[in-house]
Amino acid sequence: MKKEVKVLAPGTVANLVCGFDVLGLCLHEPNDIMEVKLLDKREVIIHSADGYPLPSDPTQNTAGAPLIEMINELNKNIGFEITIHKKIKPGSGLGSSAASAAGATVAANHLLGNIFSNQDLVRFAMYGEKVASGVKHADNVAPCIYGGVTLIRSIHPLDIVSIPCPDLFVTIVHPQIEVRTADARQILRKEVLLKDAIRQWGNIAGLVAGFMQNDLDLIGRSLEDVIIEPVRSILIPGFDAVKSKCKEAGALGGGISGSGPSIFMLSKDKATAEIVEKVMKDIYDNIGLPYYTYVTTINKSGVTIID
């Protein structure tokens, strides 16, 4: 078996506005780089390549926890040493914890001769998400591993569906504030009105149908959230202005990426996506809040072996 591998672990956008915990897409940018070595002793060792303060205890690390589960399931005298080049900032809403968890599981599986299925890898990677947020959700790790757009039809039992989608452009602005996933979950309502649930179900079904039918108008109409976004958006300065002005500039629609603070917008072409980026920059320049922006596309490959 090969003893060492390097992978590119991509960022992701979870929820896709209306699909809380059930929809997600994979991005071409930003990415983490992870180097994983196979060891002949039962341990997991974590290194931060660039000095970013990552937990060294593997049980408290989003890359380490999935590998502990994998080793326990195999019940073999093996382990892994991981070096993480962390480029996706934790708390950005761009799937930082998922990139670590998914990248580690894909790399480890490669070193073991690809003995696990993608669904197995998602099952392991969810332990990393539990470390980050206290909840084993799959809407980031699934697209990170499968690539493209994924639907989490069920967690128990785990049932993941890959959704065909158009080659859309994704514009992202990441205001330089942190919104912890665990905190963003705590503010959500525990119960919703039936009329809101019905409207949300229609939007989820419409968005999936829009992706599958390459119907851009339907995608745009379905990018509406009446349950989660109204609560979480108050944590993100400038959110309402970004969403309305980007749609006026030609974006199909968009919203909060994961639990925020990043905001994403989908566009049909690169020219529109770049106009949308300028709108985002102008809004945050006027607010006076530092930010990063990305103009990228949907990554249909997921975690990639690069060496």
> Which residues are known to be catalytic?
129, 181
Distance CA 50, CA 28 (A): 21
CB 65 within 8 A of CB 82: no
d(CA 98, CA 90): 10
Candidates 6, 145, 140; CA nearest to 81 is: 6
CA distances from 187 to 77, 198, 222, 230, 281 (A): 43, 22, 24, 11, 28
Distances (CA, A) of 296 to 54, 216, 222, 266: 27, 18, 21, 10
Q: Cβ-count burial of 243 within 10 angstroms (0-12 exposed, 13-18 middle, 19+ buried)?
A: buried
For residue 236, give Cα distances in angstroms to 133, 175, 229, 288, 290. 19, 8, 11, 14, 13
Pairing of strands 23-39, 79-85: antiparallel
Main-chain dihedrals φ then ψ at residue 49, nearest 5 degrees: -70, -30
Q: Residue 265 region, left (φ>0) first, then alpha (ψ -120 to 50), else beta?
A: beta
Which residues does 123 contact at the CB level (< 8 Å), separation at least 6? 158
Which one, of 263, 23, 25, 293, lies nearest residue 166 by Cα?
A: 25
